[in-house]
């Protein structure tokens, strides 16, 4: 009876408090009823809406600004957009490392938000202050002022640096609000990434419609001022949720323990493996952290956890040995498995770059295609960048249908609580991205035929009579693909990294898109060089009507087809993170004991 009573108290206590190594805003074990879950995550989701409104309000119309206001040619403008997008999505690797190792996610978000706000302020100044404007007389200006160019790109890259700390930390902080060892919160967390992207797409949708319309029809300065005010308000909103958040204390560089495992494994490379993996070194966690189960892959690294002084079974003896041996000589099983997790991410990361190549075209060449087509709806002519709203709407609908309809059905069919595995979800998005490139090639070929026919008939006016809604199929396809692959990538890189590297995990996902943007620019350069050999015409001319984007899209489709075979092979062999179950040992659940409740595996 005493044992049953103790178990009952333990269960009640776990329902009342959150024992996942997080703390409340006063540094105590969080109270479940007043912290975390959706009551905290909604603040984070709302800020993501505002930040994405700002980012996509700039990003989707950037190529139009560079070609029409700063008068860059198509190839230069596309490269500048890709470089900026690449830096913006690679910088989170730096911001995430600083957040996980030193500052913590909350502080990192505040710092980066201020930098973001400074970038927006400078961007506004470049459009408002007369001496910084691109030119005094836009009608006769054919080249941007040098000072404007310097200030403009400085502002853009300040926004990149701001995004570097803002994006991975914000998404990770939101996911941290759900306790993975609590059944109800774990189910809510599976929906979190879907609704996070719903908010992302909602902000994107307004950014590429309302903000872009203001840029094109009112002024770029007015749009920049609106975005600056939006970011300022989002910082206030973020601070309002401070008392509801669950916080993770940074544990120092996550790279040091991994390096220690490698050094220890090399040092003990000649030792034989123990016959029983249970004899490898591990100690119970006492701060709510989770232990990882041993896996057989990359078994060489297991040697880092071999005890050279025997294999004691008692925990106190293991603790004693740990005190005697340097971490550069002896690592726990959990540390070894954390390194294995990171190494297992690398092939998946590489195999998703081809998908990122497709995504990179949506904010560059898709928008330029729209600019050359008939954009009239009655008496209304909508901005070229607004066509991207079709992809955003497709993603919104696909995420909602997937979360509310497909997942419940798939759970019953597969028995998987996610419906399908994370890597299966990503693969569906990758297939759709490849199909989008094939559709894009066919549509662009038709557009070129229409343009050539109009030129021959003498009715060409610089833009095609072909409706811009011919682009809808490729945008809808890639939008639905994003609903599968991008959400899946976010969930995969957050879930499959070590717990103390969650911000870096989100940064890994963003770096897929960033590296793909650079890769897209590199591919354009290579193809441009190859197609001009022997005096042939380049696929990338001074404008779209003198280019062959359809051939470029076919190349991307072929790259994705080959890549899908590699990805399928890797996905079939992949082993997901295996966390040991945790049990709470509770002696007193009163308010005074909130700091020191022991957790054992």
For residue 207, what are its two tokens?
Answer: 């950014």
- First CA to last CA across the chain, in angstroms? 23
Region class of 70: left (phi > 0), else alpha (psi between -120 and 50), else beta: alpha
DSSP lists the bridge partners of residue 23 as 247
**CA quadruple 281, 287, 293, 297: dihedral, nearest 10:** -70
Which pLDDT score, from 0 to 100, does residue 273 have?
81
Instruction: Looking at the structure, tell me whether residues 208 and 351 fall in a common domain.
Output: no
Last residue of a domain, one of 251, 267, 285: 251
Reported as half-sphere exposure (CB side, CA atoms, 13 A), residue 116 has a value of: 30
Q: Which residue, 184, 219, 251, sits at the end of a domain?
A: 251
457/5: higher pLDDT:
457
What secondary structure does DSSP assign to 218-247, as a single string? I-HHHHHHHHHHHHHHHHHHHHHTGGG--B
- Higher confidence at residue 194 or residue 482? 482
Distance CA(346)–CA(420), nearest Å, equals 22
pLDDT at 284 over 50: yes
91/234 same-domain check? yes
Residue 164: pLDDT over 60: yes
pTM: predicted TM-score of the whole model, two decimal places: 0.74
DSSP state letter for 587:
S
Residues 446 and 582 in one domain: yes
Q: Are 448 and 372 in contact (CB under 8 A)?
A: no
374 beta partners: 467
Q: Are residues 347 and 216 in the same domain?
A: no
281 SS3 class: coil
- Domain match, 345 and 235 both: no
**Hey, what are 543's tokens?**
């404008």
Q: Which two tokens stand for residue 376?
A: 């009239």
Predicted local confidence at residue 583, as pLDDT: 45
- Residue range 132-157, pLDDT digits in tens: 777 655 555 555 677 888 888 899 99
- Whole-angstrom distance, CA of residue 207 vs CA of residue 59: 9
Domain membership of residue 375 (yes or no) is: yes
Question: pLDDT tens for residues 27-67?
Answer: 888 888 888 788 888 888 888 888 888 888 888 788 888 88
Q: Which structural domain, as residue segments, surrounds residue 447? A: 341-586
Q: How far is the C-alpha of 296 from the C-alpha of 376, rounded, in Å?
A: 61
The total number of structural domains that make up the chain: 2
Residue 275 domain-assigned (yes or no): no
CATH number (domain holding residue 513): 1.20.1250.20
How would DSSP label each residue in 563-592? HHHHHHHHHHH-----BPP-EEE-S--SGG
């Amino acid at each position: 009876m005493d044992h049953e009573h103790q178990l009952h108290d333990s269960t009640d206590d776990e329902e009342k408090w959150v024992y996942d190594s997080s703390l409340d805003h006063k540094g105590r074990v969080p109270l479940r009823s007043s912290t975390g879950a959706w009551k905290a995550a909604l603040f984070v989701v709302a800020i993501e809406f505002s930040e994405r409104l700002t980012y996509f309000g700039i990003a989707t119309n950037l190529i139009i600004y560079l070609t029409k206001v700063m008068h860059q040619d198509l190839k230069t403008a596309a490269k500048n957009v890709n470089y900026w997008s690449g830096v913006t999505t690679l910088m989170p690797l730096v911001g995430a490392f600083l957040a996980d190792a030193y500052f913590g996610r909350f502080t990192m978000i505040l710092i980066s938000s201020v930098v973001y706000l400074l970038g927006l302020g400078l961007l506004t100044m470049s459009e408002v202050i007369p001496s910084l404007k691109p030119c005094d007389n836009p009608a006769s200006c054919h080249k941007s002022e040098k000072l404007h160019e310097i200030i403009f790109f400085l502002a853009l890259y300040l926004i990149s640096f701001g995004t570097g700390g803002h994006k991975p930390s914000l998404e990770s902080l939101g996911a941290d609000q759900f306790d993975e060892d609590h059944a109800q919160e774990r189910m809510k967390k599976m929906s979190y990434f879907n609704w996070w992207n719903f908010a992302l797409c909602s902000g994107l949708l307004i950014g590429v419609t309302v903000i872009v319309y203001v840029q094109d029809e009112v002024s770029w300065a007015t749009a920049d001022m609106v975005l600056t005010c939006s970011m300022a308000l989002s910082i206030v909103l973020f601070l309002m949720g401070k008392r509801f958040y669950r916080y993770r204390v940074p544990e120092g560089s996550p790279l040091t323990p991994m390096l220690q495992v490698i050094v220890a494994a090399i040092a003990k490379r000649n030792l034989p493996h123990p016959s029983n993996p249970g004899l490898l070194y591990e100690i119970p966690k006492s701060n709510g952290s989770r232990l990882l189960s041993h896996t057989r892959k990359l078994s060489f690294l297991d040697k880092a956890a071999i005890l050279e002084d025997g294999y004691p079974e008692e925990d106190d003896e293991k603790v004693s040995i740990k005190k005697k041996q340097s971490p550069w000589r002896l690592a726990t099983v959990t540390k070894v498995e954390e390194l294995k997790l990171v190494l297992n991410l690398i092939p998946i990361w590489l195999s998703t770059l081809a998908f990122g190549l497709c995504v990179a075209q949506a904010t560059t060449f898709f928008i330029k295609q729209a600019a050359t087509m008939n954009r009239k709806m009655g008496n209304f002519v909508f901005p070229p960048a607004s066509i991207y709203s079709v992809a955003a709407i497709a993603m919104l609908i696909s995420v909602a249908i997937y979360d509310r309809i497909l997942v419940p059905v798939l759970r019953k069919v597969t028995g998987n609580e996610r419906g399908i595995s994370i890597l299966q979800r990503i693969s569906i998005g990758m297939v759709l991205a490849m199909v989008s490139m094939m559709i894009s090639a066919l549509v662009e070929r038709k557009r070129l035929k229409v343009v050539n026919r109009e030129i021959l008939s003498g009715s060409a006016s610089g833009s095609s009579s072909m409706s811009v809604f011919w682009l809808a199929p490729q945008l809808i396809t890639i939008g639905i693909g994003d609903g599968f692959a991008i959400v899946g990538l976010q969930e995969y890189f957050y879930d499959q990294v070590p717990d103390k590297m969650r911000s870096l995990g989100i940064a890994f996902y963003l770096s897929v898109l960033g590296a793909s943007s650079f890769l897209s620019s590199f591919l354009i350069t290579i193809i441009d060089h190859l197609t001009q050999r022997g005096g042939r015409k380049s696929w990338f001319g001074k404008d779209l009507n003198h280019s062959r984007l359809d051939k470029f899209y076919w190349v991307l489709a072929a790259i994705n087809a080959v890549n899908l075979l590699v990805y399928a092979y890797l996905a079939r062999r992949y082993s997901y993170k295996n966390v040991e179950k945790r049990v709470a040992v509770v002696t007193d659940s009163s308010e005074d004991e909130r700091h020191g409740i022991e957790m054992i595996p």
